[in-house]
């Protein structure tokens, strides 16, 4: 049965939504990616309960997959990034941590797709971190990471 009360969308939902964006960009949401997201969302920082996360995935996951990477997806993704910029209030350490977590989700399924790479690149741009963060991918080792460099 569906809960008759509409749950309030909060800051932590924006964080989870960004994680889900990268997880579903390849058209599916695999268990390995979900495990990494659950780990981060269940941390003290985010405080998502297992049930809250499951409810979000059930509610949002199928819609994200259906949207694919088309205009609706891009529009919603950009909106979430703007929301997150407001939540983080210029905290570059937190933005860097989010980028590292996104990379971890991207490689969880054992491969790095071009779409996942593009999502992390777009997040770096949305967070206005291009001048001091570099994105590195090693497809042979299935590794994607962000690195700080001079600038900014």
Q: What token pair was written down for 146? A: 């962000």
| pLDDT for residue 28 | 80
pLDDT, greater one: 56 or 95:
95
| pLDDT for residue 3 | 47
pLDDT, greater one: 26 or 66:
26
Rounded Cα distance, 26 and 148, in Å? 27
Q: What token pair was written down for 119? A: 């999502």
Rounded Cα distance, 130 and 110, in Å? 26
Residue among 78, 94, 88, 96 at smallest CA distance from 134:
96
Average pLDDT over residues 31-37: 88
Whole-number mean pLDDT of the chain? Answer: 80
Instruction: Specify whether the CB–CB gap between 138 and 127 falls below 8 A.
Output: no
Please list, residue by residue across 42-64, b when 16 or more beta carbons sit within 10 angstroms of its beta carbon and e when fewer do.
eeeebebeeebbeebbeebbeeb
| pLDDT for residue 145 | 80
């Amino acid at each position: 049965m569906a809960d008759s009360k509409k749950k309030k969308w909060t800051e932590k939902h924006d964080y989870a939504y960004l994680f889900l964006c990268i997880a579903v960009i390849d058209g599916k949401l695999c268990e390995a990616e979900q495990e990494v997201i659950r780990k981060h969302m269940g941390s003290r920082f985010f405080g998502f309960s297992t049930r809250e996360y499951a409810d979000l995935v059930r509610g949002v996951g199928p819609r994200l997959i259906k949207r694919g990477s088309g205009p609706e997806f891009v529009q919603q993704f950009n909106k979430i990034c703007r929301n997150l910029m407001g939540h983080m209030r210029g905290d570059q350490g937190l933005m860097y941590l989010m980028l590292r977590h996104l990379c971890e989700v991207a490689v969880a399924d054992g491969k790095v797709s071009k779409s996942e790479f593009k999502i992390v690149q777009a997040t770096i741009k949305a967070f206005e971190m291009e001048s001091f963060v570099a994105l590195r991918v090693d497809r042979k080792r299935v590794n994607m990471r962000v690195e700080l460099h001079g600038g900014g």
